[in-house]
Amino acid sequence: MPQYTPPLRDMQFVMNEVLHVPDVLKTLPAHADIDADTVNAVLEEGGKFASEVLFPLNRIGDQQGCQLNPTNHEVKTPDGFKQAFQQFAQGGWTALSCDPAYGGQGLPIVVNQCFYEMLNSANQAWTMYPGLTHGAYECLHAHGSEEQKRMYLPKITSGEWTGTMCLTEAHCGTDLGLLRTKAEPQADGSYKLTGNKIFISAGEHDLVSNIVHLVLARLPDAPAGSKGISLFVVPKFLVHADGSLGARNGIHCGGLEHKMGIHGNATCQMVLEDAVGTLVGQPNKGLAAMFVMMNAARIGVGMQSLGLTEVAYQNALAYAKDRIQSRSLSGVKSPEKAADSILVHPDVRKMLLTAKAYAEGGRALSLYCALLIDQELNHPDEQVRKDAAEMVALLTPIVKAFITDNAWTATSSCLQVFGGHGYISEWGMEQYVRDARINMIYEGTNTIQSLDLLGRKVLGNQGATLKKFGKLIADLVAAESDHEEMAPFIQPLAKLGQQMTQFTGEIGMKALGNADEVGAAAVDYLRVAGHLVFGYFWARMAQVALKQIEQGSKDPFYKSKLQTARFYFAKLFPETASLMQFARAGSEVLMDTDDVFA
């Protein structure tokens, strides 16, 4: 049946040998005393929690789902979820990367990222409760008043309370400028909010005593559109000045969505009826404040899919080794058995290697982004902080969209390895496919991410940030140009890096005459950019592995890494050629189709 082993060795490889995380942390005063041994110890214990506590609850959560009591609007989570959250909080895991000023442990984001990958592999639905809470923490930490921070952050940090973000309404998804929820000022400086929200993950549950909702709403005199949105903190229970809980607030769950996956997480329809809230930040500036949480959530969704890719791969590999069926096309491999294992078949290996390559590439990219965030938040040099923030902004839509698209491919391939057993629930694979599918929609669909990347992050600054990433590639290519063993990785990466400049320029010029050209090219463009970024990290991982082998290492880990890198560049990276052809086909064949839809 399903199994999961935390990939600690690969995490250590990426952090210590590829990204040199301990050296980078030494440049950050807040983390200068954190060494590799400390990080390894934390992740080892975190892996035990994920595999021993959360993983056994994954199928239970999928089978039981959440139950709403329509009388009191309370939601019961699946068996074991509440106890696991209590254990999680008591172990200090909620406080891992939070500010020590509010009871946090102050560990780097890069450590938290590794931990959350393991949690997502073990149980994505459960992990969304603390994951969204951490996003609410970050938003209040960045934009909350001193009073709001004092009132809410210690309880959120300790795991006594959780948090949500309440954005979406039935008539508007990504287009938040259309939202209708109203906030009426009160004499005491508070506001009363009235409206309805949908698709609110973890909006109601029984894990903790209070839920802190961050709600987008409009003030009476707010301008139309996204410029008239304000952000409010609205607790489930009102909070007295001494931190104790008061009366139930006017916000409740009016219904649960019945979903194809992540059944263990309560996706709620939230009703606000004169709910008391306080303004976060400045009036009509709520969307900018909420973007702190939204961007964190976008990277978090990428981590959800990374976790699913890893656990699906582990289970498919174990099955392929044990399952015997037919004989190898090139001759019998296990004559002592009635048949060979299906691992001898080229296409089975292709499916497994696809998942492995996407998991390990996604891990390198997401940890790189996490390390950039640590630099953005903590580096003493303002220019370093600025550069790190700029690169994170470029890479965030790639983390969200490319990794989640890849997970859909990978989990589907891993299910295919199981053949008929793949869609039988007891093997667990069909749940990973169902859970993975929603991540392509969450926190802005992947098309929205593609438009953000191409329209805002690339064309919006004439490719300036993309050129900075291109310089990283150029430096790697120059350093390894005379290394023959690196040619299978460096040559295709260098070629795509050169093509990317022309490709981007072509789309930009076409878009000057017709903005639909951006919409027609964006999804394909993001996948090309995703492969460019993955290719860079795969080349760096191959570089380290080759060096270790050339220095005499016999560790099979490095040989495995090289073999996976060769597969990635030979079988997955070439997708970029067809993607660029698709993008260059333009918008006319899409938009000049009115008769089709008549």
What is the torsion angle, in degrees rounded to the nearest 10, for the CA atoms of residue 353, residue 354, residue 358 and residue 359?
Answer: -50
**Whether 496 contacts 504, CB under 8 Å:** no
Positions annotated as catalytic residues are: 443
pLDDT tens-digit map of 484-500: 999 999 999 999 999 99
- Rounded to an integer, the average pLDDT of 95-121 is 96
Token pair 């073990």 in the structure block, residue: 122
pLDDT tens-digit map of 499-519: 999 999 999 999 999 999 999
- Rounded to an integer, the average pLDDT of 327-356 is 94
pLDDT tens-digit map of 43-55: 999 999 999 999 9
Share of the chain above pLDDT 70, in %: 99
Rounded to whole angstroms, the Cα distance separating 4 from 312 reads 9
pLDDT tens-digit map of 173-212: 777 778 899 999 999 999 999 999 999 999 999 999 999 9
pLDDT tens-digit map of 532-566: 999 999 999 999 999 999 999 999 999 999 999 99
Residue 396 pLDDT exceeds 90: yes
Give the pLDDT confidence score for residue 290 in this predicted structure: 75
- Rounded to an integer, the average pLDDT of 313-332 is 94
Closest CA to 434 of 88, 110, 107, 65: 65
391 vs 226, residue with greater confidence? 391
Give the pLDDT confidence score for residue 1 in this predicted structure: 77
Give the pLDDT confidence score for residue 436 in this predicted structure: 97
3-state secondary structure 330-380: CCCCCCCCCCCEHHHCHHHHHHHHHHHHHHHHHHHHHHHHHHHHHHHHHCC
Give the pLDDT confidence score for residue 293 in this predicted structure: 65
- Rounded to an integer, the average pLDDT of 213-225 is 93
Token pair 């899409």 in the structure block, residue: 590
Rounded to whole angstroms, the Cα distance separating 308 from 408 reads 9
Give the pLDDT confidence score for residue 226 in this predicted structure: 81
pLDDT confidence band for 296 (50 / 70 / 90): confident
pLDDT tens-digit map of 463-485: 999 999 999 999 999 999 999 99
The mean pLDDT value of the chain amounts to 95
Query: Is residue 44 exposed (0-12), middle (13-18) or buried (19+ Cβ within 10 Å)?
Result: exposed
What residues does 341 pair with on adjacent strands?
324
Rounded to whole angstroms, the Cα distance separating 237 from 434 reads 34
Residue 297 pLDDT exceeds 80: no
The end-to-end CA distance of the chain, in Å, is 50
pLDDT confidence band for 277 (50 / 70 / 90): very high
Collapse the DSSP code of 187 into the 3-class scheme (helix H, G, I; strand E, B; otherwise coil) and give the result. Answer: coil
Rounded to whole angstroms, the Cα distance separating 264 from 244 reads 29
User: ∠319-344-361 over CA atoms, to 5°?
Assistant: 70
Give the DSSP H/E element, type plus range, for residue 28: none
- Rounded to an integer, the average pLDDT of 20-24 is 97
**Residue 275: phi, psi to the nearest 5?**
-75, 130
